[in-house]
Amino acid sequence: MSRIRIGIVGYGNLGKSVELGCYQNKDMEIVGVFSRRDPKTIKTRKEGVPVYHLDEVKNMVDDIDVMILCGGSAKDIPTQGPMLAAMFNTVDAFDTHAKIPEYFDQMDKVAKESGKVAVVASGWDPGMFSINRLYAEAILPEGSTYTFWGKGVSQGHSDAIRRVDGVKKAVQYTIPIEDAIKAIKSGENPELSTREKHLRECYVVAHEGASKEQIEKDIVTMPNYFADYDTTVHFISEEEFDANHQGLPHGGLVIRNGKTGLNNEHNQIIEYNLKLESNPDFTASVLLAYARAAYKMNKEGIKGAKTVVDIAPVYLSMRTAEEIRREMI
Amino acid sequence: MSRIRIGIVGYGNLGKSVELGCYQNKDMEIVGVFSRRDPKTIKTRKEGVPVYHLDEVKNMVDDIDVMILCGGSAKDIPTQGPMLAAMFNTVDAFDTHAKIPEYFDQMDKVAKESGKVAVVASGWDPGMFSINRLYAEAILPEGSTYTFWGKGVSQGHSDAIRRVDGVKKAVQYTIPIEDAIKAIKSGENPELSTREKHLRECYVVAHEGASKEQIEKDIVTMPNYFADYDTTVHFISEEEFDANHQGLPHGGLVIRNGKTGLNNEHNQIIEYNLKLESNPDFTASVLLAYARAAYKMNKEGIKGAKTVVDIAPVYLSMRTAEEIRREMI
């Protein structure tokens, strides 16, 4: 059986995790890693993975079935997406929620012209959480859906802290408020403010001589990032930071509390819950399942942009439809 | 906007719940309930729902968009399914797992000939649990998936107890073993025997003068149903039974404990969890979402049998694709 030939575009945390994920998917092989950096400076997690400059993709149109875009949503994907969808099936984890419709339309146009499939905004949120919000609402029209994130590292918030004067190293954990979740699970449909859903907990290594009081104040009052939350700041030593705060755990849950019955007398609770020791590994795993979907759909003649809700679950699986009906339904 | 015209075939617990579910789906209307019983003997949950004898369906081919099959999987659906799929889009909750492939093939043939869509084996297990088993395995190829049911009423097991000599009323609750779930959530991948996954708890009202000792023995040693489980039998009064054991709660969870990383060093846990105060209401709610999917797919020219894994999530939603991308992804 010929394997699905994967290209990895971008080699940060996510690109590295996609490489590792490929080794677990026996129907896939890595053709190469593509980067804007000098290929000689890139060392892949396992030896023997070819590394190319991104400019070379145009010479490899016949060698790659699906390109997985592992760059950032702010700058990389908006330009790399359309450029690559003109040549390849693509999968990305574009996660700027407000810009998804516009990006989708752009990718749809390019992919329809090239005859390829472009899976956009995949991963877990957007991605698996989006699917679960949709299924839960469609099944239980009367009710409320809540999304909680964490406990986990928010890379955007950690970056924001690192830009504060006097901060040497920092990490921020987003923590869902258990009492809110408990209320929902007991059948209540509370209206929750931002502050009532999540806490923000920061671990900071300060530069020598920096004012911890000032750092703390700068963090907790930071608009958009922290001002609307109850935020705690812990100052720790660099040793402790390096020993205990290097991982990228994350997770969260989508929960819908719906009502059914003649007088809405029955509580019906649907919960989808992720506990992830590695956020980039999990995101990569989702992207790879959707790479398989893009490949299979394109083989059937399907083209254009798709989000996760447009793709039937069967396309993600290594198994045949018959096998699924026999063993998994 | 014209609404989706629903027919309900069979009016037991599930049929009644489908009626109630229709009132929550603003894009649907009930055309009628169809039964093999004399229509005059059937009183619908709300007044004004037309009730017809099942023989009349053939005269209503142009009046109904989707027929929802609410009969039993043992005898009703295997005959009613093909008969109705020859005339209508259909949705059913056929749940005899071993016979799903054969039933699917039969429905696929009929529906392809009639140009209709037949959604088979929908509901929550088979149904939403099947989807979640598939997604979780596709995303995390290395790992184990577990399905637990309960706490909830197993109607098959309750029926089995009621057939025991001396039993007047009975209900059986299936209870997942918390220690097993805890082990999985902590990252272990245990091999679990039947006995290690679920307990069976029975509440029995005995006939006057019946031997409780004999009833208990007959239950706990019953092959297939109870012999492989730790089963407890509680004898209670009829008053207590009527007051506390009339509901049909259920639920359960699908959990996958997967591993990622260079050396499988990261635990990644995906859990889908249902807590249902009314099992038939929830099953009905799933069937209605798939009735919308059947209707929308057939409008696009799609025909043949589908299981839940063959249907893209977007088809279940009342929202447009644009709205979903803007608000839910």
Judge whether residue A248 has pLDDT over 90. yes
A322 contacts in B (CB within 8 Å)? 101
Judge whether residue B2 has pLDDT over 90. no
The answer to whether the CB atoms of A134 and B324 lie below 8 A apart is yes
Instruction: Considering only the beta carbons, identify the residue of B137, B274, B281 that sits closest to A260.
Output: B281
Contact call for residues B291 and B306 (beta carbons, < 8 A): no
Interface test with B, best of A142, A151, A266, A308 (most B CBs within 10 A): A266
Instruction: Considering only the beta carbons, identify the residue of B97, B284, B328 that sits closest to A133.
Output: B328
Global pTM value: 0.96
What per-residue confidence (pLDDT) applies to A2?
A: 87
How does residue B1 score in pLDDT terms, banded at 50, 70 and 90?
low
The answer to whether the CB atoms of B325 and A101 lie below 8 A apart is yes
Contact call for residues B184 and B147 (beta carbons, < 8 A): no
Number of neighbours of residue B100 by Cβ within 10 angstroms:
20
The answer to whether the CB atoms of A24 and B141 lie below 8 A apart is yes
Q: Which amino acid is at A240?
A: E
| Mean pLDDT over the full length of chain A | 96
- Residue B132's closest chain A neighbor by CA? A313
B185 contacts in A (CB within 8 Å)? 275
Contact call for residues B31 and B5 (beta carbons, < 8 A): yes
Residues 6+ apart with CB under 8 A from A208: none
pLDDT tens for B64-107 read 999 999 999 989 999 999 999 999 999 999 999 899 999 999 99
- Residue B93's closest chain A neighbor by CA? A329
Judge whether residue A1 has pLDDT over 70. no
- % pLDDT > 90, chain A: 96
What per-residue confidence (pLDDT) applies to B172?
A: 97
The answer to whether the CB atoms of A141 and B25 lie below 8 A apart is yes
Interface test with A, best of B92, B94, B266, B267 (most A CBs within 10 A): B266
Which is nearest to A284 in space by CA: A91, A129, A151? Answer: A91
Q: Which residues pair with B175 in a beta bridge?
A: B199
- Residue B317's closest chain A neighbor by CA? A138
* Over residues B28-56, mean pLDDT: 97
Instruction: Considering only the beta carbons, identify the residue of B26, B121, B138 that sits closest to A329.
Output: B121
Instruction: Considering only the beta carbons, identify the residue of B130, B278, B292 that sits closest to A260.
Output: B278
| Mean pLDDT over the full length of chain B | 96
Cα separations in angstroms, A230 against A72, A80, A199: 28, 38, 5
A100: left (phi over 0), alpha (psi -120 to 50) or beta: alpha
B134 contacts in A (CB within 8 Å)? 313-314, 316-317, 324, 328
Judge whether residue B282 has pLDDT over 70. yes
pLDDT tens for A186-232 read 989 999 999 999 999 999 999 999 999 999 999 999 998 999 999 99
Number of neighbours of residue A37 by Cβ within 10 angstroms:
12
Contact call for residues A189 and A257 (beta carbons, < 8 A): yes
How does residue A184 score in pLDDT terms, banded at 50, 70 and 90?
very high
- Element of type H or E holding A230: strand A230-235
> How many CB pairs (< 8 A) connect A and B?
218
- % pLDDT > 70, chain B: 100
pLDDT tens for A99-114 read 999 999 999 999 999 9
A266 contacts in B (CB within 8 Å)? 276-278, 281
Judge whether residue B40 has pLDDT over 90. yes
Judge whether residue B298 has pLDDT over 90. yes
* Over residues B122-145, mean pLDDT: 97
A272 contacts in B (CB within 8 Å)? 270-273
The answer to whether the CB atoms of B139 and A24 lie below 8 A apart is no
Instruction: Considering only the beta carbons, identify the residue of B26, B260, B281 that sits closest to A282.
Output: B260
Instruction: Considering only the beta carbons, identify the residue of A273, A281, A289 that sits closest to B271.
Output: A273
**A103 to chain B nearest CA, in Å?**
10
**B58 to chain A nearest CA, in Å?**
30
Side-chain half-sphere exposure of A214, counting CA atoms within 13 A: 9
Contact call for residues A139 and B289 (beta carbons, < 8 A): yes
The answer to whether the CB atoms of A309 and B324 lie below 8 A apart is yes
The answer to whether the CB atoms of B130 and A328 lie below 8 A apart is yes
- ipTM for the predicted complex comes to 0.96
pLDDT tens for A18-64 read 999 999 999 999 999 999 999 999 999 999 999 999 999 999 999 99
Instruction: Considering only the beta carbons, identify the residue of B267, B269, B274 that sits closest to A270.
Output: B274
